[in-house]
Structure 1
Amino acid sequence: ILMSLRTLMREGMDKAAAIVEAVRLNFMPVSITSLTTIVGFASLNFSDSPPFWHLGNITAIGIAGAWVLSLTLLPALLAMMPVGFRVKRTSKFYKPAMERFADFVIARRKRLLVVVSVIALSLVAFIPTLQLNDEWVEYFSTDIEFRNDTDSAMAYFGMYPIEFSVGANGPGGVSEPLYLEKLDQFASWLRDQPQVTHVYAFSDIMKRLNKNLHGDDQGYYRIPDNRDLSAQYLLLYEISLPYGLDLNDRINVDKSATRVTATLTDADSIETKQFLSDAQAWLADNAPAYMHARPTSAGVMFTYIAERNVINMVGGTIAAVLAISVILAFALRSVSLGLLSLVPNGLPIMATFGAWAILVGEVGFSVATVASISLGIVVDDTVHFLSKYVRARSERKLSAEDSIRYAFKSVGTAIVTNTVILAVGFAVLMFSDFKVNADMGLLTSLAIVFALVLDFLLLPALLLWRSGEDEVAVAAPKATLAPVFNK
């Protein structure tokens, strides 16, 4: 609205009329961009993480409020405040930068269509190489004391406990020698794994009791020979514990299952997933069916949370893209433009992840929501450009080439300004000591910049291809073009 007001007043229109005309020209695109941005942020509700629900919903409410204020309070303030722009002096020897850029794009539209498409699709081709990987300790910068203390503790003790509830063959079954032997073998296998720093299993207690009750003879550091003896050892151990202590943290009430704890050291989510898979495979291959167990713990939850979020957010982003395309098709009264908008709206995000695959190679919980956040922002540039293009075609009856010139002249500077502001704003997050914020800021900034490139280089070429106008004269605009712009 401000850029339109500036343009109109520099062309000689008085302030009051320029405010009315600026609001009229931008009412539809501002409304559409607000709605589509709300849809983009609302898609964060597909996430498994409640904080992202709140982020999306609160931001959507804020966008709705900004839409109301932009169309009511802003014009009123502009009318009350002293606003003035010098009337632009026209010269047949000088052409504004955006008009010159429009001529450049139109003249080379076929080459740009091929080159930009190939580069963007080449980046997209790297997306399958991305790996879902996370390590929650590395969310924090080494400048934070907590991170340094955690790294020190990790080296000696490990920080990722994994719990297994290993079932026995019925109540009291934890005293069976076969069960204890298999449990001890499982504990030994766990200790042999490179990521494991400590294992605590009920079989260790029984072996130690057997040794203690045989005069600490090391030869008896083994599983008792029969169930009754094991049960007597267990009873003796329970009644000898100090007041207030019991074995309920290791054995369930009816003694039909025991808990095995394996503590992992510095392991990322890929290594943790492999460890969990190997542990379950060992139980499946070497233990009775009743001993098969699924690993649990906060570490297991964090191992899979990024994957679940990414899968859910892919569905949410697809739904948002389709909803935005439908909105644009209705608003622009063109199904083909609604479908065409899929390219400049979706391709920047995919190209961003392709570039991330080349630069980093891994994504985690921090980038699960980038697509939805970016989509709600990058669609704004497309909407403003297409709305001005459609207005030039329908109201001013301009050709496709001149309509593109009109779009660049009307909103080109505003789109660049908006992109710079948003990209720099999100780039500030890169300085955060919290990796989730830093990665999100960098990826969103990249997506915003890619969106500008595609909107300025690829979208005009697609519009000209859609129009079917192959002959382009770029040496100079048509003689009637400048007067039409100044109306």
Structure 2
Amino acid sequence: MNALKKASNVTNTFAKRWAQFVIKNKWYVLLATIILSMGLGSQGAMEFDGDYHVFFSKSNPELEAFDALQEKYTKDDNIVIVLSPSNGNIFTKENLVAIEELTAEAWNTPYSSRVDAVTNFQHTSAQGDDLYVDDLSYESANKTPQDIAEIRRKALKEPLLVNRLLNEEGSVTAINVTVRLPGEDSAKEIPEVTAFIRSTISNFQEKHPNFEVHSSGLVPLNTAFFESSMRDLMLTMIMLIIVVITTLILTRNFVSTLATLVVVMFSIMSAVGFVGLMGIKLTPPSSVFPTMILTLAVADSIHILITMLQKMRKEGYSKHEALVESMRLNFMPVFITSLTTVIGFLTMNFGDVPPFWDLGNITAFGMTMAFIYSTSTLPALMAILPVKTKQKTENTPEKFGWYTNLGLFVTKQPVRLTIISIVAIGGLTYLATKNQFNDEFINYFDETVQFRSDTDYISDNLTGIYNVEFSVGSGESGGINNPEYLQKLNEFEDWLNQQPEVVHVNAFSEVARRVNRSMHGDNESYYKVPANREEAAQYLLLYELSLPFGLDLNNQINVDKSETRVTATIENISSAEMIDFSKRAERWLEDHTPEAMHAIGVSPTLMFSKLGFRQADSMFKGNIIALILISIVLMLALRNFKLGLLSIIPNVTPVLVGFGFWAMYKAQINTGMVIVFGMTLGIIVDDTVHFMSKFLRARRELNYDAKQAVIYAFETVGKALVTTTIVLLAGFAVLSTSSFALNSYMARITVIIIVAALIIDFILLPSLLILISKKSESKENVRSLQPQIQLDK
């Protein structure tokens, strides 16, 4: 007991002396923190990276496999331009001419390496022993109605076109532009391509208003990531206005609002400096750091200011006395909440998504600086600026406040409230297990984003936008001409086409069948893979020599002709279904083909599908470590092992409650929500620490029993907890409007968790504190308690 008192005295003495030092040297402290924040801010540089690759660590096995596939063939960053004529028929002279024009212009796209369209599709035909490979429709302006009818017939029978570049009705078509980005500066390359494509589409629509145009692909995906980052960064300004208004309303003091604003701005400036110093490139997840810091930094200031204003208004303290007393009461709780918040955000480094590493590290640094500024700049400013408050007159009859009444309500029925809380939490925890993981990257964006709406249109009217690719080897150089290899590849193609989720399959076996038919006078009975290796090799060579520049088979065949690329385009399906499809295909190859043909499925779609599960597995360890560390910190800070263990309950249950409500709202979670436990753990602790610290002060310094201490805690910290919760809700509510689902879903569930945390800390926590207290305590009638209890000075 003596050790506890000694530790408490040391903490109180330090906080008191620090407050007195800051007040005495207020101008010097203010100047020093201005120089510090300005110095850090001057190092700030915010660059954006919209490349989807940033979501994957360099050691990510799916990324390594995908990069290896692209090294064997050609990189397939692309833009799909989808055209829908108003007459519902692609095959008219005017429409084919327009498609030809746009196809020709698409070749001018920066870094373009290939343009595929209906008009330039390489159609094979035979005349005697000669193989002819021509554009399906060239010089369309000169075509007769009979020619166009024949082009339509050929196109709608072509497996490589239908459900890929042409729908089955012939009413919608696509132009696929493949680009080879150098990868030296994605912040320059991607906008350059995007600007050209948007300008080209705009000019096309001006000239041909009868066409409806939509675009998708990996380049538009990267653009959507980049533009989402910019939009979410702009949310900071909206949040700043809301925080200022909210703080002013809740504190009813202009000076305290100004001081809070200064602390927040200094914290954000310092974080921006950290971004520049560390060379971090911002992405959609990490670009929300200003909103995070702004929202969380306010909490530290609010606790100090609310206590100070209470002391001045209710207890007649002078400004400097109230400031010193507020620092004494709040220095350690603010330090603990800042430390636990930093720990929570740093756990994001356990995950497998680099943008969340950046978000965690930037926010952790910002919160560290927020603690420094809230315990130095804030009291210095409050000491300098005039603070006017209305003091309560002595003749005013004492009335129980709202927080006292809430305390009285809890202390009367702790057992009943505990049982009700446990039942409710148990039910919601059960519901939380019903959430399913789904990480479709198209759904990262809401319907207000053009990329999302265009992609949905393409998926509904032309083809799927998800795919899985396989690099199927033959085991020898030139082995793709081996009839046995071709036959097995053909069987794999057929199996893929039979799968319910598959929309289209692009495989070399289709090319082999088509050329074999053409080399036999277009006889349909020869529409099969060649049975002779020499014939197959000769046909392939002849076909390749007939192809024009830019439309070769390098995207399907590797250099030494030992492997071919199979691409299965599939419907929009969930992450789990995507992974299951890939495993089924891999298993089919293992069961039906030689070992050399065994291959694993790869694609950006599959990478994103697996990313969330990988992130969840890796974050689980991080969350356990964070929980243990935070519990140890609380045990040491509260200097009570039993209460430290007890704190785990109000710190963990809000997350379970949050995911329980989420199961009723969406029942689906994504990669962004996986980090919520670690992130909100530090935020939730704020309520727990401040309530328990006030409870323990009443017990240790005023010798109150548990019920009296609970009411004291409600009276002294209740308003501050409600105020900080409202500010946090405002901040995350703004973030929930983000068009980027990883951020908006994370913010929405955080709002639920923050509300649950306040309710649990106001109902379950005080009930438990009363129940675990010693039975030997005096049972003074609680109703006779006065609402205001003054600490010994």
Same fold (TM over 0.5): yes
**What's the counterpart of residue 329 of structure 1?**
635
User: Size of the alignment, in residue pairs?
Assistant: 486
Whether the 8 Å CA contact 2:712–2:788 is kept in 1: the answer is no
**What's the counterpart of residue 613 of structure 2?**
307
1:402 pairs with 702, 705, 708, which one? 708
1:265 pairs with 571, 578, 591, which one? 571
Question: Which structure 2 segments of 5+ residues have no match?
Answer: 1-303
2:408 pairs with 98, 103, 106, which one? 103
**What's the counterpart of residue 583 of structure 2?**
277
For residue 397 of structure 1, what is the amino acid of its counterpart? N
**What's the counterpart of residue 309 of structure 2?**
6
Whether the 8 Å CA contact 2:635–2:643 is kept in 1: the answer is yes
1:476 pairs with 783, 789, 792, which one? 783
Residue 80 (str. 1) matches residue 387 (str. 2) = no
For residue 530 of structure 2, what is the amino acid of its counterpart? P
Question: Which structure 1 segments of 5+ residues have no match?
Answer: none
1:139 pairs with 444, 448, 451, which one? 444
Residue 113 (str. 1) matches residue 418 (str. 2) = yes
Q: Write the distance in 2 (CA, Å) between the matches of 1:366 and 1:100.
A: 39
Q: Write the distance in 2 (CA, Å) between the matches of 1:171 and 1:465.
A: 77
Map 1:456-471; keep pairs closer than 5 Å: 456-469=762-775
Q: 3-state SS of the aligned residue for 1:165?
A: strand
Displacement after TM superposition at 1:462 (Å): 1.4
Residue 384 (str. 1) matches residue 690 (str. 2) = yes
Which stretch of the first structure deviates more once superposed, 460-469 or 181-190?
460-469
Task: Summarize the Cα distance change of 1:37–1:125 in structure 2 as closer, same or farther, 3 Å threshold.
Answer: same
Q: Write the distance in 2 (CA, Å) between the matches of 1:474 and 1:381.
A: 27
Whether the 8 Å CA contact 1:11–1:486 is kept in 2: the answer is no
**What's the counterpart of residue 656 of structure 2?**
350
Whether the 8 Å CA contact 1:164–1:259 is kept in 2: the answer is yes
For residue 180 of structure 1, what is the amino acid of its counterpart? L
Q: Write the distance in 1 (CA, Å) between the matches of 2:609 and 2:790.
A: 60
For residue 56 of structure 1, what is the amino acid of its counterpart? G
For residue 140 of structure 1, what is the amino acid of its counterpart? F
Q: Write the distance in 1 (CA, Å) between the matches of 2:728 and 2:789.
A: 34
1:242 pairs with 525, 533, 548, which one? 548
Deviations for 1:37-95, whole angstroms, at most 9, x for unmatched residues? Answer: 11111111122222111111111111111111111111111112221322335666621
For residue 269 of structure 1, what is the amino acid of its counterpart? S
Task: Summarize the Cα distance change of 1:342–1:262 in structure 2 as closer, same or farther, 3 Å threshold.
Answer: same
Residue 231 (str. 1) matches residue 534 (str. 2) = no
**What's the counterpart of residue 429 of structure 2?**
124
Whether the 8 Å CA contact 2:407–2:711 is kept in 1: the answer is yes
For residue 707 of structure 2, what is the amino acid of its counterpart? E
Displacement after TM superposition at 1:245 (Å): 5.9
Residue 66 (str. 1) matches residue 370 (str. 2) = yes
Residue 210 (str. 1) matches residue 516 (str. 2) = yes
Q: Write the distance in 2 (CA, Å) between the matches of 1:325 and 1:475.
A: 31
Residue 319 (str. 1) matches residue 622 (str. 2) = no
Q: Write the distance in 2 (CA, Å) between the matches of 1:429 and 1:378.
A: 18
Displacement after TM superposition at 1:244 (Å): 6.4
Displacement after TM superposition at 1:231 (Å): 2.3
Q: Percent identity?
A: 44
Deviations for 1:419-445, whole angstroms, at most 9, x for unmatched residues? Answer: 111112211223222222221111010
Task: Summarize the Cα distance change of 1:430–1:188 in structure 2 as closer, same or farther, 3 Å threshold.
Answer: same
Which stretch of the first structure deviates more once superposed, 49-58 or 467-476?
467-476
Map 1:285-296; keep pairs closer than 5 Å: 285-296=591-602
Which stretch of the first structure deviates more once superposed, 81-90 or 350-359?
81-90
**What's the counterpart of residue 170 of structure 1?**
476
Displacement after TM superposition at 1:485 (Å): 5.2
- Name the TM-score, length of structure 2 as normaliser: 0.59
Which of the pair is proportionally richer in helix? Answer: 1
Q: 3-state SS of the aligned residue for 1:431?
A: coil
**What's the counterpart of residue 343 of structure 2?**
39
For residue 111 of structure 1, what is the amino acid of its counterpart? R
Q: 3-state SS of the aligned residue for 1:216?
A: coil
Displacement after TM superposition at 1:234 (Å): 2.4
For residue 339 of structure 1, what is the amino acid of its counterpart? L
Displacement after TM superposition at 1:122 (Å): 1.3
Deviations for 1:137-183, whole angstroms, at most 9, x for unmatched residues? Answer: 22222223222221222220221221101121433322222211111
Q: 3-state SS of the aligned residue for 1:94?
A: coil
2:674 pairs with 355, 368, 374, which one? 368
Q: 3-state SS of the aligned residue for 2:468?
A: strand
